[in-house]
Amino acid sequence: MIDLRSDTITKPSDKMLDTMLQAKVGDDVYGEDPTVKELEEKIANFFAMDSAMFFPSGTMANQTALKIHTSPGDQVIAHEYSHVYNYEGGGASFNSGVSFKLLKGDKGMFNPDELKYAINPKNFYHAPLTKLVSLENTTNKGGGHCWDVNQFEKIKKICDENELGLHMDGARVWNSIVAKNNNPELYGNYFDTISVCLSKGLGCPVGSILVGKKKFIDKALRIRKILGGGMRQVGYLAAAGLYALENNLQRLSVDHQKAKEIASRFSSKDCINSVNEVETNIIILELNESVEKQKIINHFSEKEIIFDWYSMGLKKIRIVTHLNYSDEDHKRLLQVVDNL
Ligand SMILES: *Cc1c(COP(=O)(O)O)cnc(C)c1O
């Protein structure tokens, strides 16, 4: 089976599992797990930010960030494709009681000038109070695209002028850092909080981190507890994160190269209307209006290949390359695409 539904489906390697078993652990709810502390410190330093906190999921890290920056009734500005709006089960309203103002824009990114006009004037009390801007890097539903760091500077300036918090949903920020050869320490200049996933491209079984300014991460401790995310001997999981940062970060370029090759094979097919311009590990195919998606699904499932058929939209298919997608799998997949 070749499973390219998501980069979350990877299984920990023997070496990763060995490292996990060797971890020194303690009760992290008492702040006594040395491996969790090591990982948190390492990631805070990586982004040149004050503090970091381990979470069981990216959703909980994002939800905590929304809660840190807002009060019930406030508004969050985000792209219409954003994960915090589309895929967190309505958590933003459930946990924080906030509404969204959604921006449009290519590839899941918005223009800073449009952001400026989306902010509700503070003294106009008829409208919700705008409190937070959240952007995604890389963009998931947008097709794995990377923000240009120059845009961060513009957005940060607008946020400062309007006293807004700035959060990055960086579930796949690793892919962006590798694809654009960005210095991650730059990110610390612009964002108040960044959530990152260890369980996607980096190949860990579980785990996300919220990194940010000290005053925000201090606040996150209580919120994580309320959400049920305070965990005990969780150093076993943090150890996987430490292993992944050492061993699985730079190799993301391999996933990116394979994704580019897959996209280019699909782009010449009659059934395809468009393929995104692949920058990282996500390919979004849009089928021609007249093509039945089920036929495409059948063609691949007969060869034991599965993609994400449904979550991106009626005529869209998402393909995500990852650590467990081997060179052999890749060869076989390209052949099946050629025969489509
Ligand atoms: C996967 C993902 C998350 C977090 O998802 P979890 O499954 O809860 O870890 C957040 N944002 C984006 C853009 C994602 O792709």
Residue 7, pLDDT score:
98
pLDDT in tens, 179-216: 999 999 999 999 999 999 999 999 999 999 999 999 99
Q: Which of 217, 247, 277 is the last residue of a domain?
A: 247
Q: What is the CA radius of gyration of the chain?
A: 20
Residue 137 CB less than 6 A away from ligand 1:
no
Beta-strand (E) ranges in 112-182?
130-136, 165-170
Q: Could you give the number of structural domains in the chain?
A: 2
Residue 88 CB less than 6 A away from ligand 1:
no
Answer whether residue 2 is part of any domain. no
Co-location of 179 and 193 in the same domain = yes
Residue 208 CB less than 6 A away from ligand 1:
yes
Q: What is the DSSP letter of 106?
A: G
Which position has the token pair 């920058």? 279
Co-location of 47 and 192 in the same domain = yes
Identity of the residue numbered 214: K
Q: What is the pTM of this model?
A: 0.97
- Among 6, 26, 52, 10, smallest CA distance to 206 is for 10
Residue 266 banded pLDDT, cuts 50, 70, 90? very high
Co-location of 171 and 300 in the same domain = no
**Do the strands 282-287 and 272-275 form a parallel or antiparallel pair, or are they unpaired?**
antiparallel
Co-location of 130 and 220 in the same domain = yes
- Please state whether 69 falls in left (phi above 0), alpha (psi between -120 and 50) or beta: alpha
Give CA–CA dist 32/187, Å, rounded.
29
Q: Which domain holds residue 322?
A: 251-338
323: three-class secondary structure by DSSP? coil
Residue 169 CB less than 6 A away from ligand 1:
yes
228: three-class secondary structure by DSSP? coil
Nearest residue by C-alpha to atom 9 in ligand 1 = 58
Tokens (6 digits) for 268: 């010449």
Cis peptide before 138 (omega within 30 of 0): yes
Give CA–CA dist 217/42, Å, rounded.
15
- Among 16, 13, 49, 54, smallest CA distance to 36 is for 54
Average pLDDT, the chain: 97
CA distances from 109 to 47, 82, 190, 227, 256 (A): 21, 9, 16, 29, 20
Residue 210, pLDDT score:
98
pLDDT in tens, 105-155: 999 999 999 999 999 999 999 999 999 999 999 999 999 999 999 999 999
Q: Which ligand 1 atom sits closest to the C-alpha of 169?
A: 11
Co-location of 289 and 170 in the same domain = no
Co-location of 136 and 194 in the same domain = yes
Co-location of 80 and 162 in the same domain = yes
- Among 291, 332, 278, 308, smallest CA distance to 139 is for 278
Residue 176 banded pLDDT, cuts 50, 70, 90? very high
Answer whether residue 168 is part of any domain. yes
Q: For residues 196-230, b (16+ Cβ closer than 10 Å) or e, as one string?
A: bbbbbbbbbbbbbbbbbbeebbebbeebbeebebb
Co-location of 195 and 326 in the same domain = no
Q: Which of 231, 247, 263 is the last residue of a domain?
A: 247
Co-location of 200 and 277 in the same domain = no
pLDDT in tens, 59-78: 999 999 999 999 999 999 99
CA of 66 to the centre of ligand 1 (A): 14
Co-location of 133 and 56 in the same domain = yes
Residue 198 CB less than 6 A away from ligand 1:
no
Give CA–CA dist 10/248, Å, rounded.
12
265: CATH: 3.90.1150.10
Residue 8, pLDDT score:
98
56: CATH: 3.40.640.10
Co-location of 241 and 270 in the same domain = no
Nearest residue by C-alpha to atom 5 in ligand 1 = 58
Residue 6 CB less than 6 A away from ligand 1:
no
Q: Which of 219, 247, 275 is the last residue of a domain?
A: 247
Co-location of 227 and 255 in the same domain = no
- If one counts every other C-beta atom within 10 angstroms of the C-beta of residue 31, the result is 10
